[in-house]
Structure 1
Amino acid sequence: MISIPNQRAVIDRRKLAADIAAAVADNGARKARPQVVELLRTALERGRSELARRLLEAPSAGHACVNGQAFLIDQLIRVMHDHVIADLYPAPNRSSGERLTLIAVGGYGRGEMAPHSDVDIAFITPGKNTPWCEQVIEALLYYMWDLGLKVGHSSRSLDEMVRMARQDLTIRTAILEGRYLWGDQALYDQTSRRFWGEVVPGSEARFVAEKLVERNERHKRMGDSRYVVEPNIKDGKGGLRDLQTLYWIGKYIHRVRSAAELVDVGLLTTREYRTFRRAENFLLAVRCHLHMITKRAEDRLTFDLQREVAARMQFAERTGKSAVERFMQYYFLQARHVGHLTGVFLAHIDEEMAGKKKARGLLASFRPRARSLKGYKVFGGKIAAPSDDWFQKDPARLIEVFQLAEEHRYEVHPETMRMAARDVKAIDAKVREDPRANALFLQILTGRNDPETVLRWMNEAGVFGRFVPDFGKVGAQMQFDMYHHYTVDEHTIRAIGLLAKIERGELKDDHPLSSEIIPQLASRRVLYIATLLHDIAKGRGGDHSVLGAEIALELCPRLGLREEETELVSWLVRYHLLMSATAFKRDLSDPKTIHDFVGEVQSLERLRQLLVLTVVDIRAVGPGIWNSWKRQLLSDLYELAEEQLRLGHKRRGRAERIAAKKQRVAEMLGSDAHFIDALDDRFDDAYWIAEPEDIIALNLPHYAKAKQLEDQLSIHAHYYPARGATLVTVIGDDHPGLFYRIAGAIHLAGGNIIDARIHTTRVGKAVDNFLVQDPLGKPFSEETQLARLKTAIEDALAGKIELVPQLAKRPLPRARAASFEVRPRVEFDNKASGRFTVIEVGARDRPALLNRLARALFENQVMINSAHITNYGERAVDTFYVTDLLGGKIVSPDRLRRIETALLRAASDQFAAEAA
């Protein structure tokens, strides 16, 4: 533990002990208890306040804060102990069994405590607990509980400690960090000797193995990435527990007494130890701020806390980056350093443990030789630099070693990783322009084995960002929203990994169209480079697509691409969001949508490249973002665009398309095919163009049955696996406001509408199709769920439910959305469709947003033809294809302004509050 400056300002133990003694002298030990508790509580509160003040003055001083907290608790417990054995349970002639030592264990044993961490104490006795020992322990615990401290405690004899430590990894780890706190010093010394003499010897390899299993399981629970955007400071990958694991292993094997001694035993270099301390100091400071803000043991750096911690730690805004994004970027850089340290440290331990295993029998004297590969040493599946100055002599080797690792499926030796991280500054402008170095980098990026893993190694060693400086600028950069789950660099590397898996045919079930298309590409390296560059300009304060396209024009020639390849990469980066925006926010049944999209794409090669880039970009955003609905929409857009590009002016006309669709529907209906002719006078051409064949094949029998029974209202709900959603069809008399009432009912039943098409037959019947998912993006498939949907719609249309107050009571599925500022916006487009005005509304995702927007349109006498709903975390984008009451586009500026005002009010936080 480091020394605490001005200790008495934190706690004056002598004065506190004197005040307690005075209270006891005046009232007696028993009656003075309330005064004693109050004196202890006051000391605790004053000490915490002083440490909080110091942290605000030096907001990054993590070690000082946690050491100060441990010092404060130490002094309080020592005063309590002395008061208990002197005043409450004095035993002047104690037997040899009436001895007690207090050992601080776990993080407290290291002398590190966040403000609301548990106080972990082991009470050790020589043998079986005596009544005196039990009384003292109980009295101490009650005092600590009275102070509101959360105490993790154990009470064991010496023999029990040895036996249980041998059996239980958690106990062994706790005792490993044991520190004498107070009580019988000789008993503590005996405890320490027995632990190191009877528990540790011979169990080193098992301890390391168990610790690594424990670490891996913890990482899986926390998301298995150090780049998740709401990290757990303590238990997440790259967090404090990873650093502590290094220390535990080093201490268990080499008996080091501090992290600094890891250098002495060769497990860390001096430079790495400085990195260790810097990362630990920062992470401890963040943890202390979290505890102080929340007033509890909070270790998760959630969105709502990130802003406040960033402000407390004095991070400022810069061009293109908010203060919170700069703070989180620094956090992720530290997490990356932790990852690098962990990798080299554990690899060294692995080799060290393997070296201790003695071979037996005939092979005892056999030692396999390292083979040579282009001057590198290869041994045990690892590639290593042959000398300490290897990279300094030829910095291009910093790229080469990773290229060889990817090509031959090797790991990079930990010592070589250390050398790479140390020598990375040797990569300068000359190396970046070196054709050989660029060719090697391109081989890694487009590698056939595992480019994702190798690029991640390069990134953590600092080589990637040094060789491609624009990539270095997005290193560890987060986007402060609920949509992106990873930092920009991690998202990009994951996208490249997904691309490689699709190319290897490993994801055919998830991405059948992309798997089919990739072999048809004229240039696979164009796709890999476009994937690398698609987000490379984020955080620069402008449109990252436009800025990224400019970077591509500069970088691609350096990497050896031809002029036409460079232009294609630049185009892909510029328009990498075009296909998803068109598929998810536009009506694909509208010919103008496809015409405009094809007008921008212009070639089959661009279309193919763009589809695969779009797929890996969405899939790499995070778990739960990709689904079969998005896959189907992208496939539909691709096929419609491909047809138009292939056939050009010869593409099939409207009549031919409808005839072909009717033929396919007839095949699907089989014996019910007669419904097509029987209902031909009901459904116009727009219906046949807009709806997929399989939905028409469901709609027609339902409509025919409703007609036969003369039903005023017919509701059907089916699980629709093709889109990963539930299809809800409502057939009934059309009337104004039908859409917003159905939307409200579906939300009340727990559903989110992701797509909607509204049709009115020639005889005034509504046929409305809705695709619905639950708040987690899953379909409703159980009968009870489907029945609930139908009942809610029936009740809403029958006027049995007051929609506005009921919807206002529904909580937002993700209340964390309130942590983000999302300004509502409304955009009108009268060029995107030949028949409709397209209205796009962006707003904070909240309960019944679609219902409120649809109601606002209804109240402004706007007819909705279709609605397309897209969510980006905390942000929703709802697109409506609309007309006026006469079926024409809305073009009057005054009318558009009134509609915009109504929609902005419906989308605003203030309106939501008023409705509630």
Structure 2
Amino acid sequence: MTDLAPATSEDPTSKPAKRAKLKPWNIESVMDTRKLRVQLQAAAMDHMQDQKAMRSRAMDLMHGALFRGRMIAQERLNEGADGLDTARLLAAVQNEVISTLFDFTTNYVFGERNLTSGERLAVLAVGGYGRNVLAPSSDIDLLFLRNYKETPWAESVIEYMLYMLWDMGLKVGHAFRTVDECIRLAKEDLNTETALLDARYLAGDESIAKNLFDRYHSDLVQGRASQFIAAKLNERDKRHKKQGDTRYVVEPNVKEGKGGLRDLQTLFWLVRHTYGGDTLEDILSHREVFTEEEARIFRKAGMFLWAVRCHIHYLTGRPEERLSFDLQPEIAKRMGFEDEGSRLGVERFMKQYFLETKAVGALTRILCAKLEADQQKSKAGGLLDFFGLKNELRIDQPGFKVVSGRLSIEDQAFFFLNPVEMLRLFVLAEKHQIDIHPYALSAVTRSRSYFSSKHRESPEAREMFLHLLLDTKDPGPVLRMMNEADLLGQMVPEFGEIVSQTQFNMYHHFTVDEHTLQAVEAIAEMERGDKCDIFPLGCELFPQIKHKRALYLAMLLHDTGKGLGDQQVEGAITAKRASRRLGLDEAEADLIAWLVGNHLEMSDCAQKRDISDPRTISQFAERVGTLERLQLLLILTVADIRAVGPDVWNGWKGQLLRELYTATAAALESDHVKEQEVAVDLDQRAAETRNALVARKGDLPPRLQQMDSAYWTSQPDVQLDWHVDELRDAQGEMVVTCRVSPDSGAVELFIAAKDREKLFADIVGAITDEGATIATAQIFTGKAGGVIDLFVLQDDEGRAFAFGEKSRLDRLSAKVADAIEKGHVPTKLAKPFRAGREAVFVVDPDIIFDNQGSADYTILEITGKERPGLLFDIANAIAKRDIRLNSAHAGAYGERIHDTFYVQSHDGTKLTDGDLTESLATDLLEILSRDSDLAPRTPARVLAQARSAESF
């Protein structure tokens, strides 16, 4: 392989602060093994007649040596040592303890005898410990190897050693076998075969260990490379699928996740089994596999990932492998990642993490290409079957060929000499619907730095890229491959800036680039008409849009402003720059910039405002301006929400967006954007919804007849049917019932009651007392004083409350009904708040009193950090001031809440009393800052300016 270009995965913006360089260690500088052995001998001599005292003294000596060695490893890690250095030091300390323990046990505890051949014993390290690396809380896997059948002496030695190791606090996995048993089991079980591949001699009779190594090589290595490779790659694929099949989850599993340590270990196993070698240095010295630069990348990824894993173990005190939110800031700090401008140190750290795992993926492609080429030469059927090779297909394009049914290139230098041809690789693969060979993908990775501004601005490159984005049936997979090979960021540098970028919050489940590609896929699904049941309106509108290219490019670029300041403002700037460079004219570039600059506005308006309020629709229609923009923004918004993460999209959000679109479209189409005209349109649509419900279900219960447009325009038909059925079955005026939604699987609570003072606070208090978390809340007040309240309930982990268990839902309903009738006295709410992994997040509390956004009500918007009982505290603060609550829209976005209340003073007017609003703001800010290190903002800052009509 020719090393054509520096294949570095480093990102200059993510480099940690420089750390002091540590001196190299050797085991003598960490443990005085000779002194330890002398001390153990003395202990044996001093307590020869007292086995219990001898054991106790030996335990103190060995545990002390182990503890000191592990402390030195931890101190070095905290001072900036890399992870491999730490893992090797921990293994070296463990080696000395085990070998010393074996000698002590066989020489002094059970030593006064001549061993027969059958009693000879060897101790081997296997598994990860066999590779001479060890994480702080990892298990220690030992193989006790014997010549023949078990003997009482050997069993006594093993038992004594194991109990000593367990009493030192170590987790030890062990097996006691002969060489024949090891080989037989390895042929039957891949895990055993892999564990023995890593086997390493520690103590005892070395000849037995050598016999195992020789037999392993002759029986399990020679002539079996293809079977082993296929089995390990298949195992890796299953593991990736179990972990979600993406490396870009924001709380990754460092060990088992895609691109994590297990993938690096798989590369080690494949190279060791196929090409030989014992140590990592041996493996990386195979220049026929990895270039010197790629070997450096392998080491760098290993050092980084091992450092992260060791820090996790030290911080948690257990073998935790998930890099969870609560660990990320502290590990970032310990590894030297500091805040830089608007970029948090923890976000810089996580970006580097994903860049390293991405580099592991590139190394995997390189090795697979080499393995397949070697196996092709030898016609090894097992591996060829695994790679799915098929009959040749001819590609009539210079420089390209088909190898084993996949698109490849004639020579690795091809892309170096013709950088634009890297784009053609993906165009041809899409055109002929064939996979790309790892050899070609690795060539792209190695040559990507030669793809310069001259190439990305060439008409040929622009045409091919836009074809891949717009003219492919499913652009997601091809764009993801381009991103994995680092070509997408080369073609669109603005996108390259968000590759592997994270947002430190609990709302977004993926890195920014992965979220973006999933959003592009969601748009393509609507264009194809797939999964139309998710949001039918999107599929219906897609054929009507005139600016498909602007839509796809806006989606690809919608988050390119993240990390630069106001993401919509900065994103509009970067999007326009990218659009112009791609050859679009000024008008289309302006449209893309407008979509990116407003891509959050429709979801904010739908979820945080009363979309039955004529002024809301009027202001939104004025902001959008045209029906085409509205259609583009709707599809963009739906795709954006769907790509945030699993279970973020739901039917309630879909209904709100559909209603906002319908009301705004009616205003734009009829040119009725004035508030009074919009009000007429809204009332007309509400009447149509009521009439349709009457046609389906007959006369409406009195409670529904008094509801105004806000209720009728926000509920899908399936909800309205449910409400009618529940109200008809009710014996009295009050209805409180729960169900598991047939569409989303969420737990929904429906309440119909007579309004009274403090009602909303009492209901929320009862819900929270039962351990439920309120994901969304809507309240509607009827003309005759009746209210309908709707809640979606979850548990602390974001799952359906009580998993929909009927007995718990019935108990919740009874508790809420009791609170409505008698008022609520907090019980569990009074208990102290215990912070979980969300404790690391900081959300600046904010209060806005808006007297401009509604003709009749003050809009009270509250932003803060979610915690149990928060909505109850907020509702209480509002209720005790005799403020009338007309409607509420409460929602949680990860660790952040944004609750909107439409309120009036007791005399039915907006809140204009400065003393009242200042007092309420003070209380709300204190509530939002409770259990937080944040000092509350001063009310004066909150009340300085109401939100303008141009922003939602």
TM-score range, shorter chain: over 0.9
Look up the SS of the partner of 1:909 in the other structure: coil
- The amino acid that maps onto 2:693 is M
CA deviations over 1:744-763 (Å, ceiling 9, x no partner): 2233342525132231443x
Deviation at 1:129, TM superposition (A): 1.3
CA deviations over 1:660-702 (Å, ceiling 9, x no partner): 64465345335974557x7899566776677677766666787
CA distance in 1, matches of 2:847, 2:304: 42
Asked if 1:634 corresponds to 2:654, the answer is: no
Q: Count matched residues.
A: 898
Distance 1:381 1:163, change over 3 A: same
Range 851-860 or range 901-910, more displaced:
901-910
Look up the SS of the partner of 1:412 in the other structure: coil
User: Match for residue 49 of structure 1?
Assistant: 71
Distance 1:146 1:648, change over 3 A: same
Asked if 1:574 corresponds to 2:594, the answer is: no
Q: Can you give the 5+ residue segments of structure 1 that lack an aligned partner in the other structure? A: 361-365
Contact 2:603 2:657 in 1 (8 A): yes
Contact 2:166 2:172 in 1 (8 A): yes
1:423-822 equivalent positions in 2, closer than 5 A? 423-540=447-564, 542-649=565-672, 654=679, 658=683, 661-662=686-687, 664-669=689-694, 673-675=698-700, 711=732, 713-717=734-738, 721=742, 728-749=749-770, 750=772, 752=774, 754-762=776-784, 765-775=785-795, 776=798, 778=800, 783-799=806-822, 801-803=824-826, 805-809=827-831, 815-822=836-843
User: Match for residue 157 of structure 2?
Assistant: 136
CA deviations over 1:109-155 (Å, ceiling 9, x no partner): 11111122211111110111111211111111122112111111111
Matching residue within 336, 341, 346 for 1:314? 336
- The amino acid that maps onto 1:665 is R
Asked if 1:833 corresponds to 2:854, the answer is: yes
Contact 1:407 1:447 in 2 (8 A): no
CA distance in 2, matches of 1:326, 1:912: 23
- The amino acid that maps onto 1:641 is T
User: Match for residue 389 of structure 1?
Assistant: 413
CA distance in 2, matches of 1:187, 1:168: 22
Contact 1:513 1:635 in 2 (8 A): yes
Contact 1:629 1:722 in 2 (8 A): no
Look up the SS of the partner of 1:257 in the other structure: coil
Matching residue within 56, 64, 67 for 1:34? 56
Range 469-478 or range 782-791, more displaced:
782-791
Range 591-600 or range 569-578, more displaced:
591-600
Matching residue within 108, 128, 132 for 1:87? 108
CA distance in 2, matches of 1:826, 1:214: 52
- The amino acid that maps onto 1:768 is I
CA distance in 1, matches of 2:213, 2:899: 66
User: Match for residue 412 of structure 1?
Assistant: 436
Matching residue within 187, 197, 221 for 2:218? 197
Deviation at 1:898, TM superposition (A): 1.6
CA distance in 2, matches of 1:298, 1:719: 34
CA distance in 2, matches of 1:476, 1:703: 51
Look up the SS of the partner of 2:396 in the other structure: strand
Distance 1:477 1:855, change over 3 A: same
Range 826-835 or range 349-358, more displaced:
349-358
CA deviations over 1:852-895 (Å, ceiling 9, x no partner): 11111111221111111222111111111111111111123332
- The amino acid that maps onto 1:645 is L
1:118-129 equivalent positions in 2, closer than 5 A? 118-129=139-150
Asked if 1:305 corresponds to 2:330, the answer is: no
Distance 1:770 1:467, change over 3 A: same
Asked if 1:279 corresponds to 2:304, the answer is: no
Range 368-377 or range 61-70, more displaced:
368-377
Distance 1:890 1:205, change over 3 A: same
Distance 1:833 1:314, change over 3 A: same
Look up the SS of the partner of 1:188 in the other structure: helix
CA deviations over 1:478-521 (Å, ceiling 9, x no partner): 11111111111111122222222332222222232212222221
Contact 2:239 2:256 in 1 (8 A): yes
CA distance in 1, matches of 2:756, 2:139: 63
Asked if 1:8 corresponds to 2:33, the answer is: no
CA distance in 1, matches of 2:671, 2:751: 38
User: Match for residue 336 of structure 1?
Assistant: 358
User: Match for residue 264 of structure 1?
Assistant: 286
1:230-249 equivalent positions in 2, closer than 5 A? 230-249=251-270
Deviation at 1:379, TM superposition (A): 3.0
Distance 1:810 1:530, change over 3 A: farther
Matching residue within 21, 25, 31 for 2:41? 21
Deviation at 1:9, TM superposition (A): 2.6
Contact 1:421 1:462 in 2 (8 A): yes
Range 683-692 or range 601-610, more displaced:
683-692
CA distance in 1, matches of 2:380, 2:667: 70
Deviation at 1:293, TM superposition (A): 2.1
Contact 2:749 2:793 in 1 (8 A): no
Matched-pair identity in % = 39
Look up the SS of the partner of 1:610 in the other structure: helix
Distance 1:474 1:154, change over 3 A: same
- The amino acid that maps onto 1:629 is W
User: Match for residue 14 of structure 2?
Assistant: none
- The amino acid that maps onto 1:400 is R
Look up the SS of the partner of 1:224 in the other structure: coil
CA distance in 1, matches of 2:174, 2:364: 30
Range 772-781 or range 376-385, more displaced:
772-781
CA distance in 1, matches of 2:620, 2:704: 32
CA distance in 2, matches of 1:719, 1:58: 51
CA distance in 1, matches of 2:729, 2:240: 55
- The amino acid that maps onto 1:598 is A
Q: Can you give the 5+ residue segments of structure 2 that lack an aligned partner in the other structure? A: 1-22, 383-389, 935-952
CA deviations over 1:82-130 (Å, ceiling 9, x no partner): 1111111125422111111111111111111112221111111011111
CA deviations over 1:811-859 (Å, ceiling 9, x no partner): 78x9322121122211121111111111111111111222211111111
Matching residue within 890, 898, 911 for 2:911? 890
Contact 2:775 2:892 in 1 (8 A): no
Asked if 1:169 corresponds to 2:193, the answer is: no
Contact 2:122 2:209 in 1 (8 A): yes
- The amino acid that maps onto 1:833 is S
- The amino acid that maps onto 1:129 is E
Contact 2:494 2:578 in 1 (8 A): no
Contact 1:743 1:753 in 2 (8 A): no
CA distance in 2, matches of 1:835, 1:617: 33
- The amino acid that maps onto 1:45 is F
CA deviations over 1:297-342 (Å, ceiling 9, x no partner): 2222111111111111111111121111111111111011011111
CA distance in 2, matches of 1:613, 1:233: 33
TM-score (normalizing by structure 2): 0.89
Contact 2:655 2:714 in 1 (8 A): no
Look up the SS of the partner of 1:486 in the other structure: coil
Deviation at 1:718, TM superposition (A): 5.1
Distance 1:328 1:714, change over 3 A: closer
- The amino acid that maps onto 2:792 is V
- The amino acid that maps onto 1:136 is V
User: Match for residue 363 of structure 1?
Assistant: none
TM-score (normalizing by structure 1): 0.92
